[in-house]
Structure 1
Amino acid sequence: MKTMSRKLNLVELRSLIRRNQFTQSTSGFAPGHTQVNLVILPKAYAYDFLLFCQRNPKSCPLIEVTDIGSPVPKLTTPHADLRFDLPKYRIYKKGILAEEVHDIEAYWQEDLVSFLIGCSFTFEQALIDNGLSIRHIEEDRNVPMYITNIPCEPAGAFQGNLVVSMRPFLAADAIRAVEVTSRFPSVHGSPVHIGNPEQIGIHNLSQPDFGDTVTLKDGEIPVFWACGVTPQSVAMSSKPDLMITHAPGHMLITDVKDSHYSIL
């Protein structure tokens, strides 16, 4: 589809998403509003996943957990409906990606519990405000994401490896990026790795596991942040009967302002 203007206001953007007329990555859209990852599981798996998030706060910082059977995130976006208000969803069945859809009405069950997880898109505006360029926004692409060799702390039915998102910077800018993102611990915070990707099991930056490749210019180094796509790697490893997630980069945009999650 045709790329949408990032000048859309939040009301316009939500209306387009609800009507399936906006299906691209939400990075760079609705600046100032917190974006979140989504995981939806049957109640039978909910406690184990809650424990998994508690044990892995860097990759799965919890923003909100819904009531059982409710598609409404009452605390962050009370007028939203999680069945319709993300641009794209993924359906995992026993660890296999079964389908990618634009709404999940056909999959909704009365025993489902939804988890909203912090997203690194939240601190991108802060990086921009500090004079740092975000390559995937410049190139109108989704952020590149990679499955690492770093194991998450297992919990109950859930285990798997950390997923990271990558943004390239010159060395001096990478230091500033660490300083800026450290102010946002509720949305992944500071990077988990800087430099040599092979040290964390990434052998080819041009082949991300999720998202799109971006240009790495001369003198730049890759900077990696823990990513809320980690549960999708965990789904493939742990094979729950059903896990519904956002499609990588296609987030829920909440009513909450980014500044709410800054500690400074």
Structure 2
Amino acid sequence: MTTSSAHTVRLNARKNDITFTSGLAPTYLQANLICLPSRYAQDFRLLCQRNPVPCPLLAESKSAGSFTELKSWMANITDSAIACDLDLRTDIPRYMVYKDSILVKFQCKDINEDWTEDHVGFLIGCSYSFENALAIAGLPPRHTIMKRNVPMYRTNIPLCPAGVFTGGTFVVSMRPYTLDQIDDVRSVTRPYVGTHGEPIAWGWDAVRALGIKNIDSPEWGDAPLTVDGKPFGLKTEENVVPVFWGCGVTPQEAVMRANLQGVVMAHAPGHMLVMDVKEDEVLDPN
């Protein structure tokens, strides 16, 4: 059995010994989780295919009810290589549970009582997976240095609808960078197409264009700060601007907008499943 740092993170999550996964098991892919009643699985699959930037589909339950065996949607990655000794119900630090589209459990430690033989789990790419590459390039995301959760925002960018999933919009994550760093940030993250790829927007004008009402009040994650701990929205840092990426919270938002019936489970934002797949195994060389 593997003794990789990714496996160790999963075991620690199972024992409730960790919370946020940003920065854990560097070089290993991290994934968002969403678990749906099987009657919605095909529509969700189609939603991911039509919206690959915010919803890059990495894997799903091999069959309805399976929380240990997954089918890979990643090129050149076999099913067995995704994650050994896996349990989708316990191997993420914190979960969210919705019943008839209403949040009923917030950051619970497992979903053992909520999972049924009718549920299908889906793994969606996470932007945490390129943060190690940014750090190696001398561009570490600020929230990782400050040991905070990345800020995430609801936007006005519509998703391409699929079946029951209509009315959803992009969710974006934000990392501040200076204007002269943006080209390098784009180059570093561009190959990570399975984990949202390069930024979709940047600059203070983008805040308004994306429909973000207050940069200091993200819908998920921690509020962004300047390097000296002041509210980021005060714009006190010369040439530092917000940079936005597609975010794997988008599928959760799409599920809530769809008013699905039954029990839906997901990761709590910032608490991911760490896979045995290495980042460089799924990079797009183009």
Q: TM-score normalized by structure 2? A: 0.86
Q: Which moved more, 1:132-141 or 1:235-244?
A: 235-244
Match among 17, 21, 43 for residue 26 of structure 1: 21
The correspondence of residues 91-240 of structure 1 with structure 2, limited to 5 A, is 91-100=97-106, 101-159=108-166, 160-195=168-203, 196=205, 197-215=207-225, 216=232, 217-240=237-260
Q: How many residues align?
A: 256
Indicate conservation of the 8 Å contact 2:33/2:121, yes or no. yes
Whether 1:37 and 2:51 are equivalent positions in the alignment is: no
Q: Take 2:53 and 2:239, find their aligned partners in 1: how far apart are those partners?
A: 28
Give the deviation of 1:73 after TM superposition.
Answer: 4.2
Indicate conservation of the 8 Å contact 2:173/2:245, yes or no. yes
Give the deviation of 1:11 after TM superposition.
Answer: 4.5
Residue equivalent to 1:78: 84
Q: Take 2:214 and 2:68, find their aligned partners in 1: how far apart are those partners?
A: 39
Residue equivalent to 1:89: 95
Paired residue secondary structure (2:113): helix
CA RMSD of aligned residues (A): 1.4
Q: Take 1:78 and 1:152, find their aligned partners in 2: how far apart are those partners?
A: 33
Indicate conservation of the 8 Å contact 1:139/1:214, yes or no. no
Q: TM-score normalized by structure 1? A: 0.93
Paired residue secondary structure (1:107): coil
Give the deviation of 1:200 after TM superposition.
Answer: 0.5
Q: Take 2:133 and 2:260, find their aligned partners in 1: how far apart are those partners?
A: 36
Whether 1:57 and 2:52 are equivalent positions in the alignment is: yes
Query: Per-residue displacement from partner, 1:42-96 (whole Å, max 9, x unpaired)?
Result: 1011011111111111111010111211002442113110000000010122222
Query: Per-residue displacement from partner, 1:24-59 (whole Å, max 9, x unpaired)?
Result: 210111101100000100101101111111111111
In structure 1, the gaps of 5 or more residues are 1-7
Amino acid at match of 2:212: I
Amino acid at match of 1:158: F
Identity of aligned residues (%): 44
Indicate conservation of the 8 Å contact 1:25/1:250, yes or no. yes
Query: Per-residue displacement from partner, 1:84-126 (whole Å, max 9, x unpaired)?
Result: 0000010122222111211000001001111111110111111
Indicate conservation of the 8 Å contact 1:26/1:250, yes or no. yes
Whether 1:244 and 2:240 are equivalent positions in the alignment is: no
Whether 1:254 and 2:275 are equivalent positions in the alignment is: yes
Q: Take 1:136 and 1:110, find their aligned partners in 2: how far apart are those partners?
A: 38
Indicate conservation of the 8 Å contact 1:123/1:184, yes or no. yes
Task: Classify 1:71/1:139 alpha carbon distance in 2 versus 1 (closer, same or farther; 3 Å).
Answer: same
Give the deviation of 1:192 after TM superposition.
Answer: 1.1
Q: Take 1:205 and 1:144, find their aligned partners in 2: how far apart are those partners?
A: 9
Task: Classify 1:11/1:48 alpha carbon distance in 2 versus 1 (closer, same or farther; 3 Å).
Answer: closer
Q: Take 2:157 and 2:147, find their aligned partners in 1: how far apart are those partners?
A: 29
Report runs of 4+ in structure 1 exceeding 6 Å deviation: none
Task: Classify 1:12/1:79 alpha carbon distance in 2 versus 1 (closer, same or farther; 3 Å).
Answer: closer
Residue equivalent to 2:43: 48
Query: Per-residue displacement from partner, 1:120-169 (whole Å, max 9, x unpaired)?
Result: 01111111111102111011111000000011011111121110000000
Task: Classify 1:170/1:63 alpha carbon distance in 2 versus 1 (closer, same or farther; 3 Å).
Answer: same
Q: Take 1:112 and 1:69, find their aligned partners in 2: how far apart are those partners?
A: 5
Give the deviation of 1:232 after TM superposition.
Answer: 1.6
Task: Classify 1:259/1:131 alpha carbon distance in 2 versus 1 (closer, same or farther; 3 Å).
Answer: same
